[in-house]
A and B are shown apart, each in its own frame.
Chain A
Amino acid sequence: MRSVWVAVRVIREISRDRRTLAFFFLAPLVVMTLVYYAIKDDQIVNIGVVTRGAARFFEMDFISTLEMDKDVRMISMPIPDEETDPQTLDRLIRQELATGGADGVLYMGEKMITDRFDGREGTLHLYVEGSKPIITSAVFGAIADAMDELAASLPVVIDSSCSSLCAESVNNKPMVLEKHYSYGSDDYRMVDFFLPVLPAFFVFFFTFILSTITFQRERLRGTLERLLVAPVGFYQVIAGYVMGFFTFASLQSIIVVAFILKLIQFDFTWSQTLAFSVVVLLTMLVALNLGLLASFLAHNEFQALQFIPLVILPQIFLADIIWDINGFPMFFRIIAWVLPLTHANAAARDIMIRNNPLSNSWMELLILAGFIVVIFTVMTLVAQKKDKSI
């Protein structure tokens, strides 16, 4: 009977805590919705076709074949018709991939047709951007499905001695598909996509948890109060926390990066590492301030713990860590925008995969800095409200 009363008390306590209730019941629904959008097998890819020379006659066949796949959207390439220089074409195609207008581009030149007439297989060129494995594999999948059809639509040479059987085999002569990556390569794996975001994620995750818990303890134990009675300012305490956590965060990043380097033999230059450190440092500052804010909002350690999944889970699912968020409904993309890790990840990938300088990510860095300022301000306001002394 006693345990029943204990149970009643527990249920009563929890049911009076709206935050716990909402978290308990709504979070699984939200997570499942996200997983649904992510694994739902309809990653739409934008594919463009560029043909030159005699290959132009077969462009429409290609397009109609590819269009049969409902996950493919054919787009027209904004490349002047009169442009025929292979190098310029190569550059223009890659540019289109970089701006995100196309996920994959098929290029078929004059040589393709002449090769076919000469009885060779001929090479079809497929261009992909390459930094997003999910998109890349969706493009490959769509093209692979259509390869036989595509080959069938191409001209064949049947000489007089050829039997109908022979003609059949010639007709089905496969093409060679040559893949061109803007970034990465055939060996580019899922792990290469994750790698650059892992240090930032871990730093964020652990800094947030540690700062939430330690600062909560500092408040509950009364040591924060003692520090504020001593001639120590609130901002000095915060600065101390920043420094302490910076130490942990740097150590952690070094360990994570070193481990990953060893594991997958990814080559980083020093300037990449340095630029990357800036991103990780900003991420750490965001997480630290967010942790302090959470500990001020929480009335007890249990509530402080609740903030952890609340902050961490959306970032796992929506901040471009596991999958690309662009195919998700607008609603989720807006949420993703207000998640610090979305921006940290974008900058990290730009630096580590595309090997761009830090200045290229100025927008992301600015947004992260903005987060720090906003969260710090809110945190100070909340702290002042809770504790007049600060």
Chain B
Amino acid sequence: MNAGTVSTEYILRMEDVVKTFGGFTALHQTSLTIPGRMVFGLLGPNGAGKTTLLRLVTGLISPTAGKLTLFGGLEPGASAARAMIGYMPQSLAIYPNLSVVENMLFFGRMYGMGEGALKTRIDEVLETIELSGRRDDILANLSGGMVRRALLGTTLVHKPKLLLLDEPTAGVDPVLRIKIWETLRKLCDEGTSILITTHHISEADRCDRVVFLRSGVIIGDGTPDDLTRQYQADDLEKAFVVATKEGVAT
């Protein structure tokens, strides 16, 4: 797709984007440019507006004001843009009565993949998420961690250029959490851009760039090191706390 050539410039650009639901503003005027090929973290407590921002990117909801462009010029919701996005919602959005492979086949087909390419790709993804041995197991019979991995697998089948992951590590045990981050790093090295939300402050260190979000306002933006220095904190966790306090003051 031609958008692939421009995607090196930026993967997502938000210009003065506002999102309100009724009288409630979930996202205040926000401008943000996210370059491609990096793990971009969106950090904030519950209700900060993380999911809202991701849904704006998918085109599921449209901004109340402002402009949002993807891959160097595509509108969110345009089918070319949708084809390049892999979206993993916060919920376990996967079919529990289907097997791992059946789920992956289903989502691959939803993205219009040919059967041959799809089969090869599924084998690849199963390796990545380390579920090759349980490929034909019904999800309901798998452990919670395996279901999480299967969910990630279904978002990867169509080789998205941009991965939108909504709190993929929420409620996940530390071992699996490390595994997921290793997988994400590997995908990023292979050229996938990743926009990930989390409320685990400790995870922000693993991102290439982080944005602090609070009550729909960006209160910090930079590399983990930048942010630690900017807020004169020992680590990112303290930086976040400081940023949050300043956010209250302003």
Contacts and interface: CB of A to CB of B under 8 A. Distances in A.
Interface of A: 220-223, 225-232, 387-389
A389 B111 CA distance: 18
B90 interface: yes
Contact of A222 (B62, B93, B107): B93
Nearest to B83: A231
B92 interface: yes
A229 B91 contact: no
Contacts of B72: none
Interface in B71-93: 77, 79, 82-83, 85, 87, 89-93
Given A231-B79, A231-B112, A389 B93 contact: no
Interface stretch (B4-12, B53-61, B189-197): B53-61
Interface of B: 58-62, 77, 79, 82-83, 85, 87, 89-95, 107, 110-112, 158
- A-B interface, 3 closest residue pairs, ranked by CB to CB distance from nearest: A222-B93, A222-B89, A222-B91
A294 B92 CA distance: 23
Nearest to A226: B93
Contacts of B107: 226, 230
B59 A389 contact: yes
Contacts of A223: 93-95
A221 B139 CA distance: 14
Given A221-B94, A223-B94, A229-B60, A389 B77 contact: yes
26 contacts: A220-B91, A221-B91, A221-B92, A221-B94, A222-B93, A223-B93, A225-B60, A225-B87, A226-B89, A226-B93, A227-B110, A228-B60, A229-B58, A229-B60, A229-B85, A229-B87, A230-B82, A230-B110, A231-B82, A231-B111, A231-B112, A232-B110, A387-B60, A388-B60, A388-B62, A389-B61
A115 B191 CA distance: 104
B92 A226 contact: no
Given A221-B91, A225-B87, A225-B93, 15 more contacts: A221-B92, A221-B93, A222-B89, A222-B92, A222-B93, A223-B94, A223-B95, A226-B87, A226-B107, A227-B110, A229-B59, A230-B111, A231-B83, A231-B112, A387-B60
Contacts of A229: 58-60, 82, 85, 87
Given A229-B82, A230-B110, A231-B79, A222 B60 contact: no
Contacts of B93: 221-223, 225-226
A282 to B, nearest CB: 29
Contacts of B85: 229
